[in-house]
Amino acid sequence: MLRALDLAARGPVTGPNPRVGCVLLAPGSAAPGTGRDDEPRTVLAEGWHRGAGTAHAEADALRHAREAGVDVAGATAVVTLEPCNHTGRTGPCSRALVEAGVREVVHAVADPNPVASGGAQHLRERDVTVRSGFRAAEGEELLRTWLTAVRRGTPFVTLKTATTLDGFVAAQDGSSRWITGAAARAHAHSVRTTVDALLVGTGTVAADDPSLTARSADGMLADHQPMRVVLGYRPVPGTARLRGPGGELVELRTHDVREALLTLFERGVRHLLVEGGPVVTTAFLRAGHVDELHSYVAPVLLGSGRRAVLDLGVTTLGDALTFTTTSTRRLGDDVLVVARPDHQDVGRAARPGTTPTA
Amino acid sequence: MLRALDLAARGPVTGPNPRVGCVLLAPGSAAPGTGRDDEPRTVLAEGWHRGAGTAHAEADALRHAREAGVDVAGATAVVTLEPCNHTGRTGPCSRALVEAGVREVVHAVADPNPVASGGAQHLRERDVTVRSGFRAAEGEELLRTWLTAVRRGTPFVTLKTATTLDGFVAAQDGSSRWITGAAARAHAHSVRTTVDALLVGTGTVAADDPSLTARSADGMLADHQPMRVVLGYRPVPGTARLRGPGGELVELRTHDVREALLTLFERGVRHLLVEGGPVVTTAFLRAGHVDELHSYVAPVLLGSGRRAVLDLGVTTLGDALTFTTTSTRRLGDDVLVVARPDHQDVGRAARPGTTPTA
């Protein structure tokens, strides 16, 4: 299974589909989870999923076996995710495994996708032994953002802020370039390559005219460019940098965070990076739609200016939005704090999840 | 010299005197800095300074030699700081070295103390070879806070803040216990044991009734208790915790930061930890009297409340107070950023260094 997880990790972190790996073991090999870890295993073939529109991991492994002339009848398939049971751009993997004569399937994580699940049941009905939940923790971790999104029906949201030590994102006159240093900005660009979409509000478009592309330090565009999403009613000007090279531009004419997230999920977005200004940041926090915080903090004091977060409806410390830190990382003079909210519904009590008018 | 620096480091980090170490080498030993590092050295005696009122490092080493019946005539003294030349509670070390027959003195850092300096000159006039500046960087680093204070005539100031990620020290209703977690608070207490004095304003005394002691996690008082300084005109109430066990209580009835620092320096304070609220914090920043920032940041968002830093007179990012990070450290869910101001006179231009009325 660890090998299957390694294979899965070769797949793209972005896109609507999960990363999945598959190892086909020869009949008689000790299957994972059977307590026979020291017995030899014979690998017949391996495969992994390379993103939407390409073969699923199981199909990829079966094809490799066929190409190599290897018979997989009686084999055990070790898969990181429960084999799918629906026909999308590719056929259902559960059927392909049965047709190939696979007799046993071991998977780490059950498929949370309502359209694709049922694979285990299909297999069992055809006398294939199915064992699930093996190395589940590792499987969950690998697919964390995707699983969160698919189970809930809205994208996993990473909220990025870049502030001074006293919590400002710009000085009184609006100047904000650059509060954080080059290392922090480079890191933020690398994060952009790992998400499906970036989101800002119309206020940020008007104030900063950002291009919202993922770039290297020398300005080169990365291979993967996330969708660029603008939240709000003001149209993006024809001359905006957002209309230049980069990911698809999507304007969502709403201030409703949940509505925006549902729309983006339907469009295949599983991981959204919110890089908005204070209004959008506050709206996502109040709506309780933040799964992870990326807070870049620079050793700078302004004393006054534009605050990173506006009114959250919190008047006493006991009602504060609290997070658990998952990592901290020094980036030049700055520090990045990555943290997860202590409660998913944090802030929800405060007010309906709409964006205050900027 | 590295051995002498190790010896020096055994001394107390607090108090009006510097930490100094001394190694006496037998005649003929290769002195440091002469490029004969691979030749054997014979150590006759060692000594270090244990704090005000005790023997200086040179006197300590000479005494050890005497007690061991070792003749130091013709010896080389390796000292981390230029031997003093004045009679305080102990006699001048320069004279003691001459009288003991020491023929050569190598020191790392020149004595910046106007009353104590002149040791090298005294020695040279008595035909002692003096070489200075050897391992100067290490010597400076060991004595950094003390040297800064003595060269300038005001204490080295460490400014501590403990804030949310959005820069607040308390919620709207004033609740502030606790924004940072247990690990950060324990660290802050350990810092208290390394300074001569703590300072808060009368506002903090009124709001929090702090004891300002250095305590372990179980509430035990540490051996060293810093002086407790309250800045401002309101007298400390007779029932205040500040009047309980702990360091000496000093009330400075002024709002002038520089005047306060001069008074504290005269009273032997070389390293001051400012733990005030926003008013005092802002006054020290505006006065340009911050040498080091200890910023504890908790993964908490409040959106509103009491800001850590008040108006600094900064309206554009180019005038922001910027710092260079010397270290970052994760403490539980919190992060500590230690940073030094990019310019010592940062903020001085803004306004005279007086505390706004609280």
Q: Is B66 annotated as a binding residue?
A: no
Q: CA angle at residue A218 from A213 to A222, to 5 degrees? A: 40
**Beta strands B271-274 and B156-164: pairing type?**
parallel
Looking at residue B298, its pLDDT comes to: 98
Distance of alpha carbon A317 from its chain centroid, rounded? 31
Structure tokens given for A271: 């991981």
Kindly list the residues from chain A whose CB atom is less than 8 angstroms away from the CB atom of residue B321: 300-303
What is the rounded CA–CA span in Å between residue B12 and residue B195?
10
CB contact under 8 A, B325 and A295: no
CB contact, 8 Å: A216 with chain B? no
Beta bridge partners of A170: A306
Looking at residue B344, its pLDDT comes to: 52
Residue B26: how many other CB atoms lie within 10 Å: 17
Nearest-by-Cβ selection for A307 from B166, B172, B312: B166
What is the rounded CA–CA span in Å between residue B210 and residue B208?
5
The DSSP 8-state label assigned to residue A241 in this structure reads G
Each residue's pLDDT tens digit, A47-71 = 999 998 899 999 999 999 999 999 9
CB contact under 8 A, A302 and B311: no
State the virtual CA torsion across B145, B146, B150, B153 in degrees, nearest 10: 50
Looking at residue B29, its pLDDT comes to: 81
Nearest chain A residue (CA) to B311: A303
**Spatial CB neighbours of B72, under 8 Å, sequence gap ≥ 6:** B24, B44, B45, B62, B65, B100, B101, B102
Cα dist from A196 to A13, A141, A215, A308, B17, whole Å = 9, 18, 15, 24, 60
What is the rounded CA–CA span in Å between residue A336 and residue B340?
19
Edge to edge, the sheet with strand B129-132 lists: B43-48, B21-25, B76-81, B104-109, B129-132
Nearest chain A residue (CA) to B326: A333
Looking at residue A344, its pLDDT comes to: 53
CB contact under 8 A, A171 and B335: no
Nearest-by-Cβ selection for B301 from A165, A321, A324: A321
CB contact under 8 A, A301 and B285: yes
CB contact under 8 A, A323 and B282: no
Edge to edge, the sheet with strand A156-164 lists: A249-252, A227-231, A197-201, A271-274, A156-164, A292-298, A334-341, A321-331, B300-301
Give the DSSP per-residue string, B277-328. Answer: -HHHHHHHHHTT--SEEEEEEESEE-SSSEESS---S--SGGGSEEEEEEEE
Distance of alpha carbon A193 from its chain centroid, rounded? 11
CB B324 within 8 A of CB B332: no
What is the rounded CA–CA span in Å between residue B18 and residue B12?
9
Per-residue exposure over A90-110, b if at least 16 CB sit within 10 Å of its own CB, e if not: bebbbbbbbebebbbbbbbbb
Sign of torsion over alpha carbons A202, A204, A208, A209: negative
Looking at residue A85, its pLDDT comes to: 85
Looking at residue A345, its pLDDT comes to: 46
CB contact under 8 A, B303 and A322: no
CB contact, 8 Å: B314 with chain A? yes
CB contact, 8 Å: B309 with chain A? yes
The pLDDT of residue A323 is above 90: yes
CB contact, 8 Å: B208 with chain A? no
Q: Is B112 annotated as a binding residue?
A: no
CB contact, 8 Å: B166 with chain A? yes
ipTM topping 0.85: yes
**Amino acid, res. A328:** T
Structure tokens given for A149: 């999104």
Low-confidence ranges of chain B (pLDDT < 70): 89-90, 116, 344-358
Looking at residue A358, its pLDDT comes to: 34
Structure tokens given for A168: 């400002």
Each residue's pLDDT tens digit, A164-199 = 999 999 999 999 989 999 999 999 999 999 999 999
CB contact, 8 Å: B266 with chain A? no
Return the higher-pLDDT residue of A355 and B70: B70
Going by C-alpha positions, the residue among A6, A12, A89, A86 that lies closest to residue A271 is A12
Structure tokens given for B30: 């290769």
CB contact under 8 A, A313 and B295: no
Compute the nearest-CA separation of B168 from chain A (Å).
7
Each residue's pLDDT tens digit, A125-162 = 999 999 998 899 999 999 999 999 999 999 999 999 99
Tell me, yes or no, if A104 is annotated catalytic: no
Kindly list the residues from chain A whose CB atom is less than 8 angstroms away from the CB atom of residue B283: none
Q: Which of B58, B82, B104, B292 is catalytic?
A: B58
Looking at residue A356, its pLDDT comes to: 37
Residue matched to tokens 């047709």: A99
Kindly list the residues from chain B whose CB atom is less than 8 angstroms away from the CB atom of residue A303: 282, 285, 309-314, 321
Sign of torsion over alpha carbons B17, B20, B24, B29: negative
Residue A315: how many CA atoms within 13 Å on its side-chain side? 2
In a mutagenesis test of the B interface, which of A317, A323, A329, A351 is the best target, namely the one with the most B β-carbons within 10 Å? A317
Q: Is B94 annotated as a binding residue?
A: no
CB contact under 8 A, B337 and A299: yes
Beta bridge partners of A294: A160, A338
In which band, very low, low, confident or very high, does the pLDDT at A352 lie, cut at 50, 70 and 90?
very low
What is the rounded CA–CA span in Å between residue A115 and residue A112?
9
- Per-window interface: B 7-66 vs A, CB < 8 A: none
CB contact, 8 Å: A328 with chain B? yes
Nearest-by-Cβ selection for A171 from B172, B305, B316: B316
Nearest-by-Cβ selection for A303 from B173, B310, B316: B310
CB contact, 8 Å: A320 with chain B? yes
In which band, very low, low, confident or very high, does the pLDDT at A28 lie, cut at 50, 70 and 90?
confident
Distance of alpha carbon A318 from its chain centroid, rounded? 31
**Under DSSP, is residue B147 helix (H, G, I), strand (E, B) or coil?**
helix
> What mean pLDDT, rounded, does chain A reach?
90
What is the rounded CA–CA span in Å between residue B151 and residue B128?
26
Looking at residue B116, its pLDDT comes to: 67
Please report how the helices A57-67 and A93-100 are oriented relative to each other, as an axis angle in degrees rounded to 10: 30
Helices (H), ranges, A9-161:
57-67, 93-100, 119-125, 136-142, 144-152
Least confident interval from A108-122, A262-276, B216-230, B280-294: A108-122
CA distance between the termini of chain B: 50
Looking at residue B92, its pLDDT comes to: 86
Q: CA angle at residue B148 from B145 to B149, to 5 degrees? A: 85
Nearest chain A residue (CA) to B313: A303
Each residue's pLDDT tens digit, A217-257 = 888 998 889 999 999 999 999 999 999 999 999 999 999 99
Compute the nearest-CA separation of B325 from chain A (Å).
5
